[in-house]
Every structure is written in structure tokens, then in C-alpha cells.
Amino acid sequence: MTVIRHRRGPNPLVGFRVEDPMLRRIGQDLQRPECILAQRDGSLWSADARGGVMHIAPDGQQTLICQTADAHFDLSGDAKQSLVSGTLPNGLAFGPDNSILISNFGTDRLEIMDRDTGVTRILHDRIDGKPMGKVNFVLRDSKGRLWVTISTMVNPWTDAITPTIRDGYIALVDERGIRVVADGFAFTNEVRLDAAEEWLYVAETTGKCVTRLRVGADGSLSDREVYGPSSLGRGVIDGICFDAYGNLWATMIFADRLVAITPEGDCLELAEFGNAAATDRFEAEFASGAPVSFETLAACGGTVAPWLASVTFAGPDLRTACLGSLRGTHIPAFTAPVAGLPMAHW
């Protein structure tokens, strides 16, 4: 376990817990709001399974932005096909010239969309002439480089929810094009950079942990190590996000837990919204080493943010914590005791 020593006074997350009365709702009738981007003016941009993003203005007005609305997503019908096939916008990042970068977990490609018109084109769908795999997340750094995660080459992705598969990788897009810079991850999910952009932090979903790698000037990654506990407990890690104090917040999907890794490397539990009995079943199947059945996955999750997937700091003061989910229809939010770390676009 790697730890970071600090001299910053009491950690504002120690003793903090999200209680139901603290929660408020943002948005309505959303489809798979897995990832959320925030702007200074209070706008939110949420991934939407209809094939683009939902823009939620500060006054609550919603506008679906996409090239062509896709109606395949229907959790009341064939939930499995809805969650594993068709267009599935996942990780988002603001790109140059009024664009949004979309990691499409359904079409297995990195897309770029004009956020005024919805016109979308493929940015990358192959590396070294081969299909990319399950493109999960994209992060744009202060130099304009793109860090792209590919969770697995297994399709459907649900068959890779097992600790025995480590075929995830990280690709870098810069002036040299796209290339693989690290591989061998257990279902690579969200990545974040620290404030100085010295380390890249990686959520390894089926590893139940965060690893980090040192970022070289040329984008090379080295000195890989586990950051914080080797296991973050019930559920598997999905989204990660730094706050201004240095805590790394993390969502634990299938248990709907919200946790944080402190600068000292300890894990704090901030919330648990899931179904305990269903999580028990998930943990038992996961520990067997076999892929967890879709029936077990489908039973997991509570009602607050079902299949809790991400956390984003929003609002002018970055104190509004917004929770993304794969099966939710709105965005739960609460006031955090600490501001988020501003992202490169802020």
C-alpha cells in the first residue's frame, strides 16, 4: 500500500457520511447517466443511452444532444441487451472547439460530438489495425492529450466481471496518434491525474483497487503500484475523482457504495445505497473466480443511484457532489464538506 504524508490539518471527510435527507435530485427521465461533466455556470452534461449527452442547464432545462436518437435502451424490457449492446455513451470529456469526447461502451470506439449540433464522428476505433475493445473512459489533460481506457476485449462485458481476466489497457492520444501505454489491468475503468499531473490513477474494477503510474514527459507510464488498500471491499470500483484536500473518491458498483482513499492510504466509507442481500450474492459468485451471472448483477443496486458508477464535483464552488449510475433516471446530489479538485477544463 502506498501512502502520501501531508500537513494540511484535519481531513474534512473523517466522520462524514451521506444521509438520505442530504440528497436532492437533478434531472429527470435520464437514460444511463453513467458519467457527468460540470461547468462553472452550473451546467451539467450527462452521458445518455440514446446516443449522446443530456445537457442540464442551471435552471433545470434539459436538452438531448445527439446525432440520431436511439430507442434501444429499455430496462423494463430486455435489460441485458440494453446494458451490453447498441450505443452506450460512457466516459465523457470536453474536447477542443465546443466538442465533447465520448467513450462509447457499446460501439467500442472513441467518438467526438459537436455539442451544439450533435454531429458525431469516430475519432478512433482501432489500434495497430485491430478493434479497440470495450472503450470505457476518456480524460483530457492540461496539455490536450487524451487518456483512454479499454476495460476488456471480452464481449459482452458482463462476462469479464471476474477477478481472473486482466486484458484491460490504457491508450494515449497525442500529436503522435494513438498508442497503448500500459496494459494488464483488471477491467480498466476511470482514470484521473493528480493536481500536478505527475501520477495517473487507475480504477481496476475487478481488481477492487486503484493503481497509479508515474507520467513521463512523453506520456510514458512507469513505477506502477497499488494506491491505498489492495481491496476496497464490497462491490467493484468504477469511477474515481479527487477532492481539493487530496482524497480520492470512488464508487463501488453493484454494492452502490461511495468511499474515499485518504492521502494516508486509508479507506473511508461515505455512503452505502445498495441491496445488502444482493451484494452478498455478488461477492460469493465473484470470489468463485467464475464470471458473475447477469441475473446476480441485475439484482444488485438500490434505489438512490442503482449501479452507482461515478462521482463528479459541480457548482461554482465545486462542492456539489453528483452521482452517476447505469440504471438511474436522475442524478442524486449532495453538498460535500470539501470542494472537488478542478479538472483541466475548469
Tens-level pLDDT at each residue, the chain (346 residues): 444 444 578 999 999 999 999 999 999 999 999 999 999 999 999 999 999 999 999 999 999 999 999 999 999 899 999 999 999 999 999 998 899 999 999 999 999 999 999 999 999 999 999 999 999 999 999 999 999 999 999 999 999 999 999 999 999 999 999 999 999 999 999 999 999 999 999 999 999 999 999 999 999 999 999 999 999 999 999 999 999 999 999 999 999 999 999 999 999 999 999 999 999 999 999 999 999 999 999 999 999 999 999 999 999 999 999 999 999 999 999 999 999 999 999 9
What's the total number of domains in the chain? 1
290 three-class SS: coil
- Provide the residue range defining the domain that includes 242: 20-335
Of 259, 344, 318, nearest in space to 18 by CA: 259
How far apart are alpha carbons 278 and 255 in whole angstroms? Answer: 8
Report if residue 342 sits inside a domain.
no
The DSSP call for residue 80 is H
Report if residue 202 sits inside a domain.
yes
Report if residue 4 sits inside a domain.
no
- Please name the amino acid found at residue 307: W
Report if residue 252 sits inside a domain.
yes
Terminal CA-CA length for the chain:
31
Report if residue 5 sits inside a domain.
no
Report if residue 49 sits inside a domain.
yes
Asked if the peptide bond before residue 263 counts as cis, ω within 30 degrees of 0, the response is no
Maximum Cα–Cα distance for the chain, whole Å?
Answer: 53
Report if residue 9 sits inside a domain.
no
Give me the DSSP letters along 304-325.
Answer: SSSSEEEEEEESTTS-EEEEEE
How far apart are alpha carbons 57 and 45 in whole angstroms? Answer: 9
Report if residue 8 sits inside a domain.
no
Give me the DSSP letters along 219-281.
Answer: S-EEEEEEES-S---SSEEEEEEEBTTS-EEEEEETTTEEEEE-TTS-EEEEEE-S-HHHHHH
How far apart are alpha carbons 182 and 287 in whole angstroms? Answer: 26
pTM: 0.96
- Looking up residue 226, the CATH number of its domain turns out to be 2.120.10.30
